[in-house]
Amino acid sequence: MRRRTAGPGATATIADVAARAGVSTATVSRALATPDRVRPELVELVMRAVSESGYTPNNSARTLRTQRSRMVLVVVPSVANQMYAHVLRGIDTGLAPAGYGVIIGNLDNAPNKEGRFVDFAFARQVDGVILLCGFVPGSHGRSMASAGLPMVSILSPIVDSDIPDVGIDDHAAGREAARHLARLGHRRLGYAAGPREHVVDTARWTSFREGALAEGVDPADIVRIEGGEGMRYTYRSGVAAGERFLAMTRRPTAVFCGSDEIAIGFMKVMRDAGVSVPEDVSVMGIDGIEQTDYTHPVLTTIRQPRQDLGRAGAELLLGMMDGRSDAAHRRVRLPFEFLARASTGAPPAEAAGRISQDLAPARMG
């Protein structure tokens, strides 16, 4: 049997290193993994041989033997989305110290891409999965859940499952948004919706509504403004919602948007239509992407600890992959931060409840 010698360009194998150091492959492997179980002189020999040959263990071989790939699949609806991108970054910083790498499963908001990633799971290409998409991917009747891999969801709980999740308290966030707007004096509230049937959107909408009711707002004056089919949490969704808003005969005086991007799209339509924010309509978002610091007016929003969410999810998954099933951490809630800024203010005088309504005729005359 002729062994390929490690010439320049060719990759050295453990056998090359063993030959060069004059020891067996087992010793090389041990010298690298458990140096305390090998005589110091040999460790030294092996180390020299390793650096001389530029040896890096072949990952497939190691994975095949140890049944651990040290890779994690992150399933994300869209990498191009600010929010997901930042969470992804947090995940990476959380996994890196443990030596785990990230394979990105970009759904691109297209449902037919799930199959590829389901295969990744069943092919044992990853040791665990982090979902940012709010559901468990599946295709051809085969769910990723049945691959038997540790799984964690971030940003959204997974309904009807016991998959641990990390996120903020979306209900509290929705209620707080309603409270903020109601306390500014608003009595007609709108919610510029994200994707229909999405867990997070539903949570935000229902709790916004609850919060508004709790503040004594008339149920008929809490409206959901749809953003259009398949537009998800995008600028364009906000644009569509803004156009619907303009077409309304009895407009809300304040609008809570299902995401910051929606809010920004919404504000753009307002500006173009000559409706000023916050004088004519208050607008707020949620997520707290960096961009909200640079809008005009600066956007009131609820900041999610994006990076921390990612890191916490990563650490939770690491624990599960190590077999430490800290049942205590099955539902992690991190605090959000309410940023009351310039895009929300008191309602216009003619819409501000009974007292102002009395003044309204004078203003009109």
Report the residue number, 235 or 338, with the smaller CB distance to a copy of itself: 235
Q: Is 65 in the site for DNA (CB under 7 A)?
A: yes
Stretch that binds DNA, among 55-63, 188-196, 323-331, 343-351 (CB under 7 A): 55-63
Query: Distance between CA 124 and CA 146 in Å, rounded?
Result: 12
Stretch that binds DNA, among 60-68, 82-90, 241-249, 289-297 (CB under 7 A): 60-68
Task: Choose among a copy of itself, DNA, none what residue 316 binds, the Cβ cut-off being 5 to 8 Å by kind.
Answer: none
CA geometry: angle 262, 333, 179, nearest 5 deg: 55
Note whether 154 and 309 are within 8 A (CB).
yes
Report the residue number, 16 or 176, with the smaller CB distance to a copy of itself: 16
- Three-class SS state of 73: strand
Q: Is 214 in the site for a copy of itself (CB under 8 A)?
A: no
- 227 burial type by CB count under 10 A (0-12 exposed, 13-18 middle, 19+ buried): buried
In order of 16, 46, 50, the CA distances from 53 in angstroms are 8, 10, 5
Q: Is 235 in the site for a copy of itself (CB under 8 A)?
A: yes
Stretch that binds a copy of itself, among 152-160, 267-275, 329-337, 344-352 (CB under 8 A): 267-275
Q: Which residue has the tokens 């009109």?
A: 364
The alpha carbon torsion through 278, 281, 282, 284 (nearest 10 deg) reads -120
What lies within 8 Å, CB to CB, of 36 at 6+ separation is none
Report the residue number, 72 or 351, with the smaller CB distance to a copy of itself: 72
Task: Choose among a copy of itself, DNA, none what residue 26 binds, the Cβ cut-off being 5 to 8 Å by kind.
Answer: DNA
In angstroms, what is the minimal distance from the CB of 13 to DNA?
Answer: 3
Q: Is 57 in the site for a copy of itself (CB under 8 A)?
A: yes
Query: Distance between CA 82 and CA 263 in Å, rounded?
Result: 14
Residues 3-42 within binding reach of DNA (CB under 7 A): 11, 13-15, 22-30, 32-33, 37-39, 41-42
Task: Choose among DNA, a copy of itself, none what residue 23 binds, the Cβ cut-off being 5 to 8 Å by kind.
Answer: DNA
Alpha helix positions (H), the chain: 14-21, 25-33, 40-53, 59-66, 82-95, 114-122, 170-183, 199-214, 235-247, 260-272, 306-321, 353-364
Report the residue number, 22 or 335, with the smaller CB distance to DNA: 22
Q: Which residue has the tokens 């707002």?
A: 217
In angstroms, what is the minimal distance from the CB of 117 to DNA?
Answer: 18
- Three-class SS state of 351: helix
Report the residue number, 33 or 349, with the smaller CB distance to DNA: 33
Using CB under 7 A, count the residues that bind DNA: 31
The 10 Å Cβ neighbour count of residue 357 is 12
What tokens does 59 get?
A: 């990952």
In angstroms, what is the minimal distance from the CB of 51 to DNA?
Answer: 15
The 10 Å Cβ neighbour count of residue 206 is 15
Task: Choose among a copy of itself, DNA, none what residue 86 binds, the Cβ cut-off being 5 to 8 Å by kind.
Answer: a copy of itself
What is the binding site for a copy of itself (CB under 8 A)? 9-11, 54, 56-61, 63-64, 69, 71, 78-82, 85-86, 88-89, 92-93, 96, 101-104, 106, 108, 113, 116, 119-120, 122-125, 142, 146-148, 235, 264-265, 267-268, 271, 290-291, 293-296
- Binding positions for DNA, rule: CB under 7 A: 1, 11, 13-15, 22-30, 32-33, 37-39, 41-42, 55-58, 61-62, 64-67
